[in-house]
Structure 1
Amino acid sequence: MSKHKKSYDDDSYLTLGLCFGVSFGLIFNHLALGIALGISIGAALDGQKKSNIKKNNKQKH
C-alpha cells in the first residue's frame, strides 16, 4: 500500500474559481453569472494544469 503525500498538484483551481465566482456574483448582484464564470474559469485552469503535468511526465520518461 502506498502513501500519497499532499502536494501542490493535488489542489484544484475549480474550487478556487467557484469561491471567486460566488464572491464576485454577490458583489455585483449576479450570483448565477458569477458562479457560472467561476466554474468555467476554474475548470479551464484545472485542465491546463493537468495537461502541463502530463506533458512534463512524458518528457521525463
Structure 2
Amino acid sequence: MTEVDGDRTGADEESEQMGAYVGVGMAIGVGLGTALGVALDNLALWMSVGLSMGVAFGVALGAGDE
C-alpha cells in the first residue's frame, strides 16, 4: 500500500473498489454454480464454471465503473 502524507493514493482506492466487485462476482458465481451443480449432478464442473463466470462478471462491473 502506497501512502502519501498518511493518505491513500487514488490507485489504492481503485484497486480496493475493483476487489470489491470481483469478490461480489465470485460469491454470486459460486452460489449459482453450486445450485446448477447440485441440480445437474456435476458439482465440481459447475462450481468451477460459476466461479470463473463470477470473476469475469466482477471484473466487467469494475471496468464499467471507470
TM-score, normalised relative to structure 1: 0.67
Report the residue type matching 2:53 in the other structure: I
Structure 1: runs of 5 or more not aligned: 1-9, 56-61
Number of equivalenced pairs: 45
What's the % identity of the aligned pairs? 22
The CA deviation at 1:14 is 1.2
**Partner of residue 35, structure 1:** 47
Aligned ranges for residues 3-14 of structure 1 at < 5 Å? 10=20, 12-14=24-26
* Runs of 4+ more than 2 Å apart: none
Please tell me whether residue 21 in structure 1 is matched to residue 33 in structure 2. Answer: yes
Q: Larger RCO: Structure 1 or Structure 2 (Cα < 8 Å, ≥ 6 residues apart)?
A: 2
List per-residue Cα deviations over 1:10-52 (Å, max 9, x = no partner).
5612101100100100110100001111001100000001111
Structure with the larger strand share: 2
TM-score, normalised relative to structure 2: 0.62
Say what the alpha-carbon RMSD is for the aligned residues. 1.3
